A and B are shown apart, each in its own frame.
Chain A
Amino acid sequence: MKIILSRLVAVREVPVFLALLLVLIVTGIANPQFVSASGAQDIFLGVAVIATLCVGQTFVITMRHIDLSVGSTAGFTAYMIGKVSGDHHGLGISLLVALAIGLLVGAVNGFLVAYLRLPSLVVTLASLWIVRGIFNQVAGGNTITDNQVPSALGYLGRHSFAYIPYIFIIAFALVLFASFIMHSSRPARDLYAMGSNPPASELAGIPVIKRTFFAFLASGAVSGLGGAILLARFHSADSNSGLGLELNVIAACVVGGVAVAGGVGTPYGALIGALLLQSITQALGALGVSQFWQLAVNGVLLISAISLDRYLTLRIKPTRILRVKS
């Protein structure tokens, strides 16, 4: 049984994908409105920000690290774009601001983790607070309102192409691009090696410090972009923006096959994980189940994903001493 299961799951993303299909089908039968075009649109809208942030988090988690600062960075970026550009500047300035903030945070995280070799849990927890603190100070009680959102972003956040929201398309494109990079670029392959067997990667001559630094840099940059998407999605931003987002992102990644132990997983897996979690949230509503169950269900899902992963990877062959009688 184990062997069949493991063959089936040789592609890590299969179980998540199947679960997603299951949710869609079951809910769709009970409530056809759920799988309608507008139902799908809601799901895509809900998932856009998280999906973007998952890209950066995947880089970091596959190396056996973690980045808790993504929510604060994204929120801060969202606010700053609004503040800096008002509504008369376009996409360019927005992206510049997003990248600047994101890269700065990522660089600091990366320096502390890669060069000083401080534990990433502690470093990114600290930067989560520091960024949130600076953010709150800068924002005060202000809110970025609709008319301060750059028109290009505002447009993207409100409109869709064939029922698929533009922001989701952007997120999706980013996920595809990142997946391609993680599959085909040499430095990214090193990340997998580093997460799979840290001591062996040093021996294999992989430049661990450099790779770690750049992965955090990338995560920061992506968080910045996530902030732009956040602003586009909600047409507003205040000091609460992005609060708690990091845990949702990590949950989506883990459910999507990016194991916390590192070495495995892809951005598109994380995307499917995010879609699954979002679908369940909305499925509960569509099925008439009180939405209050949503968080609990997410929790159970996460625990199941971790357990399943452990069960399937426990295939290490034990040492043999007795000669096989063959």
Chain B
Amino acid sequence: MKRAIFGWDKGILVFLVLTTIVGSFVTPYFANASNFSFVIQDIGEFMLMAIPMTFLIIAGEIDLSIGSTICLSSAALGYSYRQGIPFWLCLVIALVVGLLCGLINGILVTYFGLQSLAVTIGTLALYRGLCFVLLGNQPVNQMPLSYTDLGSNSIPHTFLPYVTILIFIFGAMGWIALHYSRLGRWTFAVGINVEAAKFSGIPVMRLKLALFAMTGLMAGVAGIVYTFRFASASPDGATGYELSVIASVLFGGVSIAGGVGTMWGVLAAVLELGVIRSVLQLINVSANTLLVVSGGLLLLSVAVPRAIEISRSRRKLVSIEKKG
């Protein structure tokens, strides 16, 4: 089963390269600096959120509230600024809010023992509800340009938007943490067999709490990125983001059952979906086709490993029957 997914990861990379090449041929507007910049901006928050979500799903959990957390961090940012708090402090507040949201999720799942799927639907509503409480119907639009320009401009002398820095830093950290650290090993262990993990001395509750907290904190970061990009904080921002992030993670080869996946597969998958969207947009295929395509790819990402698994077990059965 692991082998099948390994093949899938490499497949994503190949797919990514292919679509990029095909895209450049299919439309002249694709392969240029400003478009690449646009693509990266477009997927910025998804990239950032896919990193902690990968850890969560590999560990056998899920978080449906991240869109609302992003919105709440953004709302808290805007609200604080409206109250006259210095902007840099508002950024800190946004991060703290994100962290708190993640911690609450974590406590509900570990200490209260509630199922993450159900409980994060609840916090999805709660956190977004708090956005409305904070901002009402009024988005906060007046923000210092020196900051929000970071959301639209590129790093000097490059075509890369500033968010690329964050993507690189967190992407690298996530990749190292997942594959080259004790935290990562523990995450996989818990996802493969939580009982054996306990019997191996792994502090399962603490680990899951940390993963949820990490997710919340990243949502805070993503909330800041979102606010800068749109130069405003509004109560209905980032709606539906959670499903897109989960889909990207699954498309990147992470199994929904837990215990399997790679970080570069996920990062490639997010990039891939951004590239596909860009290409389709540029050849004037509607965004709707993209939705259909995303859905189809998501299905493939679970159907293909399953098909391989079925054929493998059929072969095993045959060989057993031959022996006995």
Direct contact of A and B (CB under 8 A): yes
- Say yes or no: A296-B287 contact (C-beta < 8 A), given A126-B295, A302-B121, A302-B122: no
Contact A129 B294 (CB under 8 A): yes
CB distance from B85 to the nearest CB of A (A): 21
- Contact residues, A258-301 vs B (CB, 8 A): 260-261, 290, 292-301
A interface residues, tally (CB under 8 Å): 45
Contact B290 A306 (CB under 8 A): no
CB distance from B282 to the nearest CB of A (A): 18
Contact B292 A129 (CB under 8 A): yes
Return the CB mask of A101-133 against B: 1 if under 8 Å, else 0: 000000000001000111101110111111011
Contact A133 B114 (CB under 8 A): no
Instruction: State the CA gap A159–B175 with chains docked (Å).
Output: 59
CB distance from B276 to the nearest CB of A (A): 13
CB distance from A131 to the nearest CB of B (A): 8
Contact B117 A296 (CB under 8 A): no
Return the CB mask of B105-119 against A: 1 if under 8 Å, else 0: 000100011110111
Instruction: State the CA gap A300–B104 with chains docked (Å).
Output: 12
Instruction: State the CA gap A112–B298 with chains docked (Å).
Output: 13
Contact A306 B114 (CB under 8 A): yes
List chain A residues, Cβ under 8 A from B84.
Answer: none
Q: Interface of chain B, helix or strand or loop or mixed? A: helix
Contact A299 B126 (CB under 8 A): yes
List chain A residues, Cβ under 8 A from B250.
Answer: 122
Partner of A297, one of B113, B123, B129, B288: B129
Partner of A299, one of B129, B136, B240, B288: B129
Partner of B121, one of A130, A250, A292: A250
Contact B286 A300 (CB under 8 A): no
Could you give 15 example pairs across A and B, Cβ below 8 Å?
A68-B243, A122-B250, A122-B302, A125-B243, A125-B298, A126-B247, A129-B247, A130-B292, A136-B291, A260-B115, A294-B132, A296-B126, A297-B129, A299-B129, A303-B122
Which residues in B have some Cβ–Cβ distance to A below 8 Å?
108, 112-115, 117-119, 121-130, 132-133, 136-137, 239-240, 243, 246-247, 250, 256-257, 286-296, 298-299, 301-303, 306
Which residues in A have some Cβ–Cβ distance to B below 8 Å?
66, 68, 112, 116-119, 121-123, 125-130, 132-137, 244, 247, 250-251, 254, 260-261, 290, 292-303, 306-307, 310
